[in-house]
Amino acid sequence: MFDPTPSTREAFRLPGVDRLRRLPGMRCLVEDLATFAVTADAWLRREPVLHNVLLTLVADRLSGDLPLSGDERFARVVDGGETVGAMVHTPPRGPLLGALPPAAARALADHFVRAAPSLVEVHGPVPAVAEFAQRYAECASLMAVRGTAQRIFALDAVRLPTGVPGHARPATAADRDLLVSWAVAFAAETSPGRRPVDLSGQVDARLRRGLLWLWEWAGRPVSTAWLSRPVADVVRVSGVFTPPGERGRGFASGCVAHVSWYALDAGATTCTLYTDLANPTSNRIYQALGYRRVAEAAQWRFAPPSEVLIKRFASETDPGLTQTS
């Protein structure tokens, strides 16, 4: 049940009695990348916007743009031989779920309790991710704490902003060091407290494919946006970053509008992006460009009950002492 204690985060832990009741007909199949790419493809493409990150995670590894580390896990949930769900786990990030029905989300949680070390987090669309988090917390005797809340947007026609100084240009190899430093700054800003990872490989892969763009003004780059490869005619915009000293002039709006137009002009039928619900500025500016709300997604974190309660007590007695994130 949900913890009724007021908090800026939701947390719960259900009693671990009869924890791993097997759900009738549901099975989780862990597969290698090549097999998963075939068996899960049709199910993932039913929701090409909601599943765009999953589809590109698979495509980037199949192509070799992002090499396999050996720690990845690719799993499907099947019911009577039919695929009813899928997820990809690329440590150190937690599993990324597809838009699973509730029973499939619970079956997948049971699988992770049996087959993997304790998870730190899980990501995915709402409500599937909450179903997974509730079940996993129950079975693993942990507490699930809601972290970042996101909104998924989609666009099929761009409203170009006016009055933004500067212009867009494709990034080149000469911009690599700047792009890597901006990627690190973006990650630190959007995921504070997360263990840093090497992002240079992702920058290099996108540079090779012409998927990194810069907004330039007065002869210098002032903003950037990343594109994903098109999969199922959908392209994702991500990595939107403007250094703090350059903000407030519309550079990000100009850059996102241009790369969205570029992707559609190149043949994509839809562009998609994620926003942090705690950031009203990004939610507002993207809608002004023509992006419309499609769904919501969330991150849930797992921790021992004592750790969560100590942090909550500390934050409520002295908000400056600690933060639960």
Instruction: Return the domain boundaries, the chain.
Output: 11-150+297-317, 158-289
Tens-digit pLDDT profile for residues 37-69: 999 999 999 999 999 999 999 999 999 999 999
Confidence of residue 133 (pLDDT cuts 50, 70, 90): very high
Confidence of residue 18 (pLDDT cuts 50, 70, 90): very low
Question: For the chain, what is the largest distance between any 2 Cα atoms, rounded to a whole number of angstroms?
Answer: 65
| pLDDT for position 313 | 46
Q: Answer whether 11-150+297-317 and 158-289 agree in fold.
A: yes
Confidence of residue 312 (pLDDT cuts 50, 70, 90): low
**How large is the average pLDDT for residues 4-22?**
38
**% of the chain residues with pLDDT over 70:** 86
Helices 128-140 and 102-115 pack at an angle, to 10 degrees, of 40
**How large is the average pLDDT for residues 313-322?**
50
Closest CA to 209 of 190, 248, 235: 235
**% of the chain residues with pLDDT over 90:** 81
Q: Which of 8-12, 47-51, 228-232, 257-261 has the lowest mean pLDDT?
A: 8-12
| pLDDT for position 316 | 58
DSSP state of 229: P
**Cα distance between the two ends of the chain:** 21
Q: Which H or E run includes 58? A: helix 52-63
Give the contacts of 39 (CB within 8 A, at least 6 positions apart): 29, 31, 76, 83
Q: Which fold has domain 158-289?
A: Aminopeptidase (3.40.630)
Let me know the angle formed at the C-alpha of 90 by 85 and 93, rounded to the nearest 5 degrees. 105
d(CA 88, CA 68): 12
Tens-digit pLDDT profile for residues 220-254: 999 999 999 999 999 999 999 999 999 999 999 99
| pLDDT for position 17 | 31
Tens-digit pLDDT profile for residues 282-311: 999 999 999 999 999 999 999 998 765 555
CATH no., domain 11-150+297-317: 3.40.630
Average pLDDT, the chain: 89
Task: Please say whether the dihedral angle defined by the alpha carbons of residues 65, 183, 117 and 44, taken in this order, is positive or negative.
Answer: negative
| pLDDT for position 324 | 35
Q: Which of 116-120, 184-188, 310-314 has the lowest mean pLDDT?
A: 310-314
Token pair belonging to 27: 């099975």
Instruction: Kindly list the distances between the CA atom of residue 277 and the CA atoms of 64, 152, 185, 219, 293, in Å, as whole numbers in the listed order.
Output: 33, 10, 20, 33, 12
**How large is the average pLDDT for residues 83-96?**
96
